[in-house]
Each structure stands twice: as structure tokens, then as C-alpha cells.
Structure 1
Amino acid sequence: MDPLASLRDAEPVPFWLDDPAKPQAAPAPTGDLTCDLLVVGGGYTGLWTALIAKERDPSLDVVLIEADEAGGAASGRNGGFCESSLTHGLANGLSRWPGEIGLLERLGRENLQAMEDTLLRHGVDCDWERTGSLVVATQPHQVAELQEEAEAVARYGGTSVLLDADAVRAEIDSPTFLGGLWHKDDVAMVNPARLAWGLKKVCTDLGVRFHEHTPALSLDEQGPAIAVRTPYGRITARKVALATNAYPSLLRRHRPYTIPVYDYALMTEPLGEEQLASVGWRNRQGFADMNNQFHYVRLSADNRILWGGYDAVYHYNGKVRPEHDQRRETFETLARHFFTTFPQLDGVRFSHTWGGAIDMSTRFCVFFDTSHHGKVAYAAGFTGLGVGATRFGAEVMLDLLDGARTERTSLELVRRKPLPFPPEPIRSVGVGVTKWAMARADLDGGRRNLWLRTLDRLGLGFDS
């Protein structure tokens, strides 16, 4: 089949959100409110913050406001990989925090298990599968890198299985796979929208006052409290947790630390038994390749293949707009790559195409800050592997708001912010040059040119 024809009948909406199980939106407030804790943002970070706050202290009066609906942005439209890493992978963490990477890895594994325990305790049905994930080599130079990664994983307490070409193709059969590393215990697959909706229900069951279609317009300190203005009045709180991520922060000084990067994905129609057998995939792992412009891939509960990544698109001045959620040229590129990877699936059609903005920081993972004499906490910059890290981010924000010195708040990762992005037009030029250099590196045996090596030394980067 012509790859372009495979897209002909695709719905231009996120597959996960196109679900009859979607809950009814919570009503907007009808006037001024007061509370102990106000959470701004109804994605994973905000949801976990509200949930954990109520579990820590059931008497706490918690209000959560969301400009759209819970999970409507990145939290409900991502690939559904929930990784234990808090640092966008071990390699990134090792390069930035070598002195505490062992602790970060342990905290990440504990955080992933705590997520799973919470979902089980509250009966959240979100297709959680602790299948692990494969990293696959598609170029000869990457095979040796798999061995290095396996040794690093073992050194810091992880579990992985190194696979040669035959072994990796016995797991997932593609003629492009030259080797693989199976991270068996530190990744779960999850339906991202149902995770968000399930966390919303848990929050409301615990007594969180939930208000959707309620954007926060401004934030001001008023004596011992913080006042956040909405279209419906003021919400006055003793403490505020900001979880707006890819959207502009209410604190202008935080805005240079993240940029919204658009990531895109396709979902196939459900595979038949013969089609699925032609690929194998009995263990249902997710996988990603090792290129700079990488693909992330997984099976859904009904045996569709999600095929995403590769392109990461930044729009001038960081505009986040609904029209950016669809990008035909990216979908066509992804479709061609899909059939190159799985030629045995010729004839499969795509049912959904979508994109969305990710909050990227220059260090590729979450950072934190407080303001207004410690009454406001902020977490953002999760980038593309942040589903699991959002729960960790929630715990850190609550620790910071309590003024508690904990194992988490003592981390250098928590105490120091990343380098900010430069202003426009330097930002757009830098992103463009970096994307070009990354593409060249993928075509040149992974060799990073002077531009990329300079960014590495400065601790700057661009990713999805």
C-alpha cells in the first residue's frame, strides 16, 4: 500500500481521547473560593499533587482548576510509556548528576512502584501493563552502545537483557533491528487518557474540589495568602502548586525555562491475528530506536500499533495553538517509516493522527522553584519521558510548600534550575540548527558535530 493511502481515512484526533469512557467535565466555580491548597493544572502533575496532598492530610481543603479538561493536553495524548527514570533516561542523568544518579535511579524505581500501588489501591482501570521496554539498534554503531548501556543499567541497580539481532527479532520482528536492550522492570504501558480520568475520579472521591474550563488568569500575593484570578472570581489559598507545564506560567520569570515542542503520533487500526503473529510481540513491550530523531512504538489494549516521534517541531515565540496538533508532512513521514520498519504489515491503515505540545527544558527533565515567600511551588520541563516523573514532581512540590527538608528536596536536581532558553529570534535559529545537526548525526554514524558537542558542554539541548 502507498503509505499516503494508509492515512486517507484517519481521524484527526488523539486516539486515547476518542473514547466513550471520557467523563463529564466538572463545572466551573460560581464565585470566589477559599482553600488550603490550590492546584493549577489538571494534567498528571496537578492530579498527582491534589491526590497525594489529600492522602497525606485528608482534612486539607484542596481545589484544582483546569483551563480545559483533565488530561486534555499532553497527559491525555502521549505515547503511554510510564518510565521509572526521573532524568529522561540513565545516560542524561549520568551526564548531569553523576554524584547522585544512583539515588535518582532508586527514587525513580520507588516512584514507579508507588504509582502502581496507588492505581491498584484505588481501582483505576487504565490498561496498566508492566511489560518493560526495548531500546533497539537500527544502525551498526548503535550495537556497541547497547552493551555500554546494559553495563550502566546494572551498575545503578536496574535490570536489563541484552539481545542480539536474532533475539530482538524473536521479540518484535523487523528487518531494521540489529540488536536490542530489554529494560524489563522499569517501564509500564498505560492508556494515558484513562490514567488522567482515573486520577480525576480518585481526587474527587477524596474530596478535592474540581473545576474544569477554568483558566487561571493571574496570581498575586495578598498578605499570608495567594489570590488567583479566574473568569469566575478569585480563589484565595494558603498555598498554590503550579502545574501548567507547556502552557505559559503564571510566573513570568519561569517562562524562559521551557519551550513547547510539538510531537506527533499515528495509531493503526486493530491488527488481526495473522498480522500480529507476523510481528510476534508476545511480551507486548514498548520500544524506541536509538536515533537522535527517534520513534517510540507500542501496542494498545486492542492490538493497535502506536507509532510516534521522529519529528519535534517548535513554533516561533512558542505558540501553543490547536491548529498545530495536525501536521500532514510529519504524518506522511511517520507512515513511510512505519512500513519500512514493518514491511509485513503492508495494507494496514491508520485510524487516528494527532500531535500535542511537550514542555521541554534544556536539561530534558523536570525542574522546580518556589516564589512568594514559599507559598507557591512550580514544577515543569518534563519533556518526553515525564509520565512517571510527574508523580515525583508532585511530591517535591508538596515538600517544598511544607518547607520540609527531605531526601527529594536535598537533590541537586531539585535545588538547581536548568539554563534558560535564549530569547527570539536566537531561540528559533538555535532550534533549527540543532535539528539539522541531529539529523546529520543520524546519517553519519552518530558522530556529533561541533555544534552538538558545544551544546553538550553547555548543558543545552533539544529533544522530544
Structure 2
Amino acid sequence: MGCALTPDPHWERLSLWHDTVETDWTPRPALDGDVDADVAIVGAGFTGLWTAYYLADADPTLRIVVLEAETAGYGASGRNGGWCSALFPASLPTLAALAGRPAALAQHRAMRDTVDEVARAAAAEGIDADLAKGGTVVLARSRAQWRRARAEVAEAREWERDEDDLRLLDRAEATEVLHATRTLGATYTPDCAAIHPAKLVRGLAAAVERRGVTVHERTRVREVRPGLARTATGDVRATTVVRATEGYTPGLPGHDRTLVPVYSLVIATEPLSAAVWDEIGLARRETFSDHRHLIVYGQRTADDRLVFGGRGAPYHLGSRVRPEFDRDEHVFARLYSTLTDLFPVLSGTRVTHAWGGPLGIPRDWCASVGLDRETGLAWAGGYVGDGVSTTNLAGRTLRDLVLGRDTDLTRLPWVGHRSPAWEREPLRWLGINAGLRAMTLADAEERVTRMPSLVAKAVAPLLG
């Protein structure tokens, strides 16, 4: 294991995705002076770019300016695990409590449709994002996990979700897809595509520019207020100002408790041989996870690497976000250990890239999108790591909100939702890190007792 995790020069780059996308990374010109616009968008990740894309497509006369602190795709949009899925961070019962059962189901259907919309839009723009819609297999590798898998499918049936949406796989069916150790069964959904996120986000940045959108990079917004996005080099005055900053949101004045940035870390192997893939599976490039408490996620890339990530890195006091937090050698080592436990054939396989970055978590773990018509301030975020597709739904929803349209999208339950503010420090530092440790303890407890974790049951309400 030690030699497999020996750093090489690639490890100092932002991610495998940044390293393997053919693009000119020369920053676009920064804002230089004050400008007027109809819509100012803060953040050139997926949320900001999808919003600009759909607005410009719907009304080419709109003056749209996107402001990005670094370069388009610098943040989570270019560093994630490459899942474009129908996952939404809030459960159907939670959404039903907000707006009723029909609205909750409408949100779920919208998320399923969004996976195909991302593929459609990428194809329409000639963006080759290595997209493969193989679905997601989530393994059960202990009796406690198998209970959760069965309970999840049973609940899905109660919510009118049939086998075309989510189904249970027995041991033979699960191992036919993915040959992991100790597999008892799995759940499977077709509603996920593996993608190369940096290819998608960089292609999207070029697509919005072709539609007349102005993108300013290396332009950090210092303040957002009604009618104004303020930077060190000029102000953008606009009727609508969209906050699309996700894990970087706490850096904006007045938003230190809106979202918390929690780090997710990822490793990527060297390209694997056909013989190794025959032993692992994922023939259709299915994405995969298992039913443990501390989340892990993986995919087979178009160039036959295995990308594998997970939570476990600490939350940093004061919602700090710094480049040095992108790396945690202990977490990388745990990811490698977990990966080789799943697939012993990978023991000794070289890891060529390891990276991380912050994702945004709201206090109630429910993503939201909205527009305050009195102030002209709009927002979207709080995806809890499920943003590759949800950002697209947010962009289409913001299009309709900005243009004053009453549509099925603007009536979804996440629209206009306001999550409670996070606790002040040091309470949130104590609570979040205790929760992360509790999930690790819960998985260890289940390995010993082979029963559902009492720790996880106690902590679950605090972790969404």
C-alpha cells in the first residue's frame, strides 16, 4: 500500500479532471471597471453557468455577466466524483412535510428527468463529457447494510417508485454488476450517468460565451446586495443578482451561517487493464457505493481508471476554506484501504491523483433555489454533494423565476425554501465533527455487532 500512495507530480494539481481536460486554462479577463447588466451571476461553476446558459437561450437580449473568483470549474464543479444522478439531499418525507406528497413526487420526477437533460444539453452543445448512463449500484456488504437496502426499496414502493426507478438485487445479480468482497446484495437505479465533470463545466463556459454571456475570471465578489455585485476592480449593477457560490458561500458578508463547507476527498488510480476490469465489473460504467454510514462513491472513467471518494475529512473552525484543506493524507490512505478491501485485485495499484474540495451543506440538509422579487436577489445551492444534476435543475428554475414564468419547475417544493442558519461557532465545529466521527464509529459498530448501529440512529436526525 505504501508505494501505491507515493506522491507524484500530478498530486499537486487540482484534480484528475483538471489534469485530463483539453482546455486553455488561461484566465478570462477580469472585470475592469463598473458595468451594467440585467443579470449578474456570482460563481462560474455548474449553478452559475447552467443559469446563464438557459437564460441566454430563452432571451438572447439579456445582458448577463458571470463573475468567478478563480477560473470556471475551479471549485466542486471540476473536482467532484463525476456522478450525474437523480439524488436529492432531502428525502421524500422531508419534501412532503414542506409541500405535500404530490409536490415531493414531482421533485423526484424532475430530478430523474434532469439526468437526461444534462445529457441532451451537452450533446446539443457538442460537449463530449465522457457521459455513460449506466445507473448506480449500491452494495450491501453486511447484514445491517442489507436491512437498510431492503428498507429503502420497501419505502420506495410506498412512494409509488417501481422497479424502473429502484430495485433490489440479490447476491448473484449484484455481483454480476460489481464483483466486490462480502456482497450480500444491492440496490440499483438507472438514474445516474458517470461523467468527466471538468469537460462538462469547461464546455459549458464556452457555450455561454457563444450565446453572448460575459464571463470574468479572477474576479472575486466581495459583497452581494440588491442590485449590486461588488468586486475590488469594479461593480456590476444588475436587476437580478444570483448567488451561485455553494461551498464558498461563507466567504460572503452576511452568509457565514448560510451553508457550511465540508470537504470530500477523492483518489484516482492509474488506468487499469481489461483483465483487472473483468475482475471488478462496471461494464456499463455504472457508478457505485455501498450502504455504509460514512459515504463513499466511485466510478469507472472513460480511460479505465477507478475514481473513488468519500467523506471523513474534518470541518474547519469558522467555515474556513483553504487550498491546504484539499489534501488529507490520512483520509487518502483510508480511501485506498477501503478500495482495496472492496477489490483486493487493486492491492498495489498506483494512485496517480488525489484531491479534495468543499461542498455546501445547509442546516436542514435541503437544497434550495429562489428569487426574492423585492430585492432581486436569487440563489441556489446546498446540494450536499449531489450537485452535478441538481445544478442543472436549478439553472432551469432560475431561468423561469427571473423571466417571471409560472411553470412546473417554479412550483417544486425546494423553490423558495429557506434553511435555518447554522449554529454559531464553536458549536457547529463541535457538532459537525462529532457527527462525522459518529458515522465512522457507527460503521465500526456494525462490523462488530452485525446489527444496525445505535449510534447512527441517535445521530441521524442531526445529519439529515
Q: Structure 1 length normalisation: TM-score?
A: 0.91
Q: Paired residue for 1:53?
A: 55
Counterpart check, 1:5 vs 2:8 = no
Structure 1 residue 125 corresponds to structure 2 residue 123: no
Matching residue of 2:335: 334
| 2:162 is aligned with 1:162 | no
CA contact (8 A) 1:438 1:448 kept: no
How many Å apart are 1:160 and its aligned residue?
3.1
Q: Once the 2 structures are TM-superposed, how far is the Cα of residue 260 of structure 1 from its aligned partner?
A: 0.2
Distance in 2 between the 1:174 and 1:91 partners?
32
Q: Which residue of 1 aligns with 2:206?
A: 201
Quick one: distance in 2 between partners of 1:187 and 1:7?
Answer: 30
DSSP 3-state at the match of 1:169: helix
Within 5 Å, give how 1:58-97 maps onto structure 2.
Answer: 58-87=60-89
Distance in 2 between the 1:51 and 1:261 partners? 28
Worse overlay, 248-257 or 19-28: 248-257
Deviations 1:108-135 (A, max 9, x none): 1222222221111111111111110101
- Structure 2 CA distance for aligned equivalents of residues 27 and 113 of structure 1: 33
Q: Does 1:351 align with 2:349?
A: no
2:438 counterpart SS class: helix
Cα distance, 1:367–1:126 mapped onto 2, change above 3 Å: same
2:189 corresponds to 1:183: yes
Equivalents in 1 of 2:344, 2:217: separation in Å? 44
- Distance in 1 between residues matched to 2:70 and 2:232, nearest whole Å: 13
1:245 corresponds to: 246
**SS class of match (1:415):** coil
For the residues of structure 2 that align with 1:120 and 1:287, how far apart are their CA atoms? 24
Q: Name the stretch that deviates more: 405-414 or 103-112.
A: 405-414
Residues 147 and 162 in structure 1, CA contact (< 8 A), matched pair in contact too:
yes
User: How far is the alpha carbon of 1:238 from its aligned partner?
Assistant: 1.7
Give the deviation of 1:82 after TM superposition: 0.5
Cα distance in 1 for residues equivalent to 2:195 and 2:98: 28
Contact 2:250 2:257 in 1 (8 A): no
SS at match of 1:235: strand
How big is the shift at 1:372?
A: 7.4
Asked if the contact 1:70/1:212 (under 8 Å) is kept, the reply is: yes
Residue of structure 2 in register with 1:235 after alignment: 236
- Supply the distance in 1 between the matched residues of 2:286 and 2:459 (Cα, whole angstroms): 35
1:260 aligned partner, one-letter code: P
Pairwise CA distance, 1:200: 0.6
Task: Between 25-34 and 144-153, report the one with greater CA deviation.
Answer: 144-153
Higher mean C-alpha displacement, 30-39 vs 258-267? 30-39
Letter in 1 for 2:314: V
Cross-structure match for 1:295: 296
Q: After alignment, is 206-215 or 94-103 more displaced?
A: 94-103
Task: Report the CA distance between 1:287 and its aligned residue.
Answer: 0.4
CA spacing shift, 1:280–1:113, aligned 2, 3 Å? closer
**In structure 2, what is the Cα distance between the partners aligned to 1:425 and 1:57?**
46
The 8 Å contact of residues 82 and 194 in structure 2, kept in 1 or not, is answered as yes
Alignment of 1:14-413 (within 5 A): 14-19=15-20, 21-23=22-24, 24-87=26-89, 99=101, 100-154=103-157, 155-156=160-161, 158-184=164-190, 186-221=191-226, 226-248=227-249, 252-371=253-372, 373-413=374-414
Partner of 2:425: 424
Question: Is the Cα contact below 8 Å between 1:43 and 1:75 reproduced in 2?
Answer: yes
> Shift of the alpha carbon at 1:419?
2.5
Contact 1:37 1:62 in 2 (8 A): yes
Contact kept, 8 Å, 1:135 with 1:288, in 2: the verdict is yes
1:22 Cα shift? 2.5
Contact kept in structure 2, 1:105 and 1:156, CA below 8 Å:
no
Structure 2 unmatched runs, 5+: none
Distance in 2 (alpha carbons) for counterparts of 1:373 and 1:117: 34
Normalised by the length of structure 2, the TM-score is: 0.91
| SS class of match (1:234) | strand
What secondary structure does 1:406 align onto?
coil
Farther off after superposition, 141-150 or 74-83: 141-150
Stretch deviating more after TM superposition (143-152 or 70-79):
143-152
Q: Quote the offset at 1:97 in angstroms.
A: 6.2
Q: CA deviation at 1:250?
A: 7.4
After superposition, the C-alpha distances for 1:240-286 in whole angstroms (9 at most, x for unaligned) are 11101111357644431310001101000000122111212222201
Structure 1, unpaired ranges of 5+: none
**Residues in 1 aligned to 2:331 and 2:411: alpha-carbon distance in whole angstroms:** 42
1:178 Cα deviation from its structure 2 partner: 1.6
Shift of 1:296: 0.4
Q: Give the distance between the partners of 2:369 and 2:165, measured in 1 at CA.
A: 29
For 1:38, the aligned partner's letter is A
Paired residue secondary structure (2:127) = coil
Which amino acid counterpart does residue 296 of structure 1 have in structure 2? Y
Q: 1:101 to 1:448 in 2, by over 3 A?
A: farther
Partner SS, residue 248 of structure 1: helix
**SS of the counterpart of 2:357?**
strand
Cα distance, 1:69 vs structure 2 = 0.5
User: How big is the shift at 1:461?
Assistant: 1.7
Letter in 2 for 1:171: V
Deviations 1:16-73 (A, max 9, x none): 0113512332111332211111111000000000000011111111111101001111
Distance 2:237 2:416 in 1: 28
Contact 1:264 1:331 (C-alpha < 8 Å) held by counterparts: yes
Could you say what the CA RMSD is over the residues aligned between the two structures, in angstroms?
2.2
